[in-house]
Amino acid sequence: MKMSKMFVQTLREFPSDAEVISHKMLGRAGFIKKLAPGVYTYQPLMWKVLKKIENIVREEMDRAGAQELLMPFVQPKELWEESGRWEVYGKELMRLKDRHDRDMCLGPTHEEIITSVARDGLKSYKQLPVNLYQIQSKFRDEIRPRYGLLRGREFIMKDAYSFDVDEAGLDKEYENMAQAYKRIFERCGLDTKMVQSDSGAIGGSVSHEFMVITDTDAGENDVFYCNDCDYSANSNHAVSNLPEAVVDGKDYFKETKVIDTPNTHSIEELSAFLNIPSTLILKSLVYIVDKKPVIALIRADKAVEETKLMNAAGGIDIRIASSAEIAELMAEHGFDAVPGFIGPMKDVKIIADNTVKDMKNFVVGINQTDKHMTGANLEDLGVELNYTDIRLVERGELCPQCGKPLYVTKGIEVGNIFKLGTKYSKPMNAVYTDINGKTHPYVMGCYGIGISRTAAAAVEAHYDEHGIKWPIAIAPYHVVIVPVNIKDELQMKVAGEMYNALQKAGIEVVLDDRDERAGVKFKDADLIGFPYRVTVGKTINEGFVEFKVRETDQQEKYTPEEATEKLINNIKAVL
């Protein structure tokens, strides 16, 4: 490809709305163009990157025994009603009506559609197991699309679905997909961690995410991991063992009584007022889960992980209650407490963290402003408690597998796998007939990879202040040849000969034949991120070209023949 003919426009500045590296770089280098919030045009350079990622995904999915199909982007309400998700999915589901006033939606995911496909086509155990996948655009109406391709409303995704006769078959396919994912991301030049995670709106009993570890602002997830064993988990699923702490206040409180605690609105203020460790305070927090109040109880030195709490409450939406909502809740139950003095109350759903179980002779709010109960025990609360893990893990807590300290880093999710079980097949009556003629629901798995998200994550992992450093396997082009002076016959002759030789060898090469200053060409080459740059300048009079590796910025001088051979060998060794 001649640079003069390429449809690409690099910018002098980063897009004004770009917050993270990938959004900045892809916008400035002319890979993407914003159409609406969270919706982008993939320009020719970006489309080449995406197609290469797709091809890697296809090759590995096919190698793993999956079969590709393509399902409709527009989905009917009726199928979502069968699964029970039409009313509960939330506002991310883009709903619409056709001209016949039939309710439809734009597909954010395809569990319902694939289950209906299997229901009509897989009748016997003899046809199982089967794994079907597609690569297609999805649409989720994000409340706040941001970070460019990392959190858009429209995005490209590979989603696969497996159908087995039993859990043992699902376990086998789950591991098969996990290994396929590891190969895919390795081929894309990404170092990923497979971490335990929450299943979210997809559902299922077990799920893992594949995270690209990054120290950039794009890392949306905290990943807890152990250096001494293989434990790693997303913060919404991570668990830990806690170091020993003072959880029995017998040395501080000799009896149970209500005392005045004026102006102690925070845990720190209350702890200082009573001269006790915060581990002896039972913290009560009011959340709104699916528009209903839920009180979370947890040891005061720990924080609530909201996804865990939402799942424990059986909801799909969660937020902390506002002061006005707390006041309304207090009034409904005859109390006058403000935040800082809230306690358990009857007729309100209560979920207690496991840290509460061992607390004795502690301090707790009693729903009266400026008052607390000291020396309290669980039986003094007057409510029935359901215990579960709703705690946010912290750095330095102990690994649940080996007991060593946990570390935390940031990660970008690029893929996920779920054990769905019969979550969709059972309500949708998607069944097979066994050897005895009895029917059973399929045991299903779900496996997703964000194609456009993977491309953005690659930028987050491979860049410098000058631009992108694409891994060779997914770079839009492998090499750019830059003749410094297009009016110099020898420079253009050598550049053209190398260009033709590389093309003949199957190398994707760009010849920057623009009548621009060398500095402009070099800056564009670095910004776009060509893995290799060959400069044909004055040194060609001595028989040499300059050879630059973008990833390391290492530069060498070679003869044109040596440079051509080195490029062919290096690139084909990766592809």
Distance separating the N- and C-terminal Cα atoms of the chain: 20
Q: What is the pLDDT of residue 199?
A: 60
Task: Give the containing element (helix H, strand E) for 521.
Answer: helix 518-528
Instruction: Tell me the pLDDT tens digit for each residue of 132-190.
Output: 999 999 999 988 898 999 999 999 999 999 999 999 999 999 999 999 999 999 999 99
Domain 477-574 in CATH 3.40.50.800? The answer is: yes
| Tokens of residue 83, six digits | 């699964």
User: Is the pLDDT at 203 greater than 90, yes or no?
Assistant: no
- At residue 435, the 3 state secondary structure works out as coil
Q: Decide if pLDDT at 98 tops 80.
A: yes
> Superfamily assignment of 257-388 in CATH?
YbaK/aminoacyl-tRNA synthetase-associated domain (3.90.960.10)
Q: Tell which wins on pLDDT, 339 or 177.
A: 177
Q: Which CATH number fits domain 8-239+408-460: 3.40.50.300, 3.20.20.10, 3.30.930.10, 3.30.200.210?
A: 3.30.930.10
pLDDT of residue 404: 95
- Quickly list H helices, 64-166: 77-83, 111-121
Under DSSP, the state recorded for 56 is H
Percent helix, percent strand, percent coil in the chain, to nearest 5: 30, 30, 40
At position 55, the amino acid (one-letter code) is N
Question: pLDDT digits over 521-541, tens only?
Answer: 999 999 999 999 999 999 999
Which DSSP symbol is given to 378? Answer: G
DSSP 102: -
Distance CA 467, CA 291 (A): 46
DSSP 392: P
Indicate whether 306 pLDDT > 80. Answer: yes
Percent of the chain with pLDDT over 70: 99
What's the pLDDT at 402? Answer: 95
Residues in CB range of 281: below 8 A, 6 or more apart: 267, 270, 271, 299, 300, 301, 362, 363, 364
Band (106; pLDDT cuts 50, 70, 90)? very high
Q: What ranges do the domains of the chain cover?
A: 8-239+408-460, 257-388, 477-574
pLDDT over 70 at 476, yes or no: yes
pLDDT of 102: 97
> CB 36: neighbour CB atoms within 10 A?
9
pLDDT score at 214: 85
Residue 314: predicted pLDDT:
86
Closest CA to 197 of 163, 150, 233, 231: 233
- Residue 200 has a pLDDT of 58
Q: What is the mean pLDDT of the chain?
A: 94
Which amino acid does the sequence have at 453?
A: R
pLDDT of residue 315: 84
Q: pLDDT tens, 482-524?
A: 999 999 999 999 999 999 999 999 999 999 999 999 999 999 9
Q: Name residue, tokens 């097949």.
A: 425
With cut-offs at 50, 70 and 90, classify the pLDDT of residue 447: very high
Confidence of residue 207 (pLDDT cuts 50, 70, 90): confident
> Confidence band (pLDDT; 50, 70, 90) for 270?
very high
Per-position DSSP letters for 6-35, written without gaps between them: ------SS--TT--SHHHHHHHHTTSEEEE
Total Cβ atoms within 10 A of residue 530? 28
The pLDDT value given to residue 302: 96
My answer on whether omega of the bond before 441 falls inside 30° of 0, hence cis, is no
The position carrying tokens 């007939």 is 433
pTM of the model: 0.88
pLDDT in tens, 361-412: 999 999 999 999 999 999 999 898 889 999 999 999 999 999 999 999 999 9
Q: Which of 80, 76, 82, 138 is nearest to 107 (CA)?
A: 138
Residue 204 banded pLDDT, cuts 50, 70, 90: low
From residue 70, alpha-carbon distances to 212, 347, 444, 448, 542 in Å are 28, 49, 19, 15, 56
DSSP state of 470: -
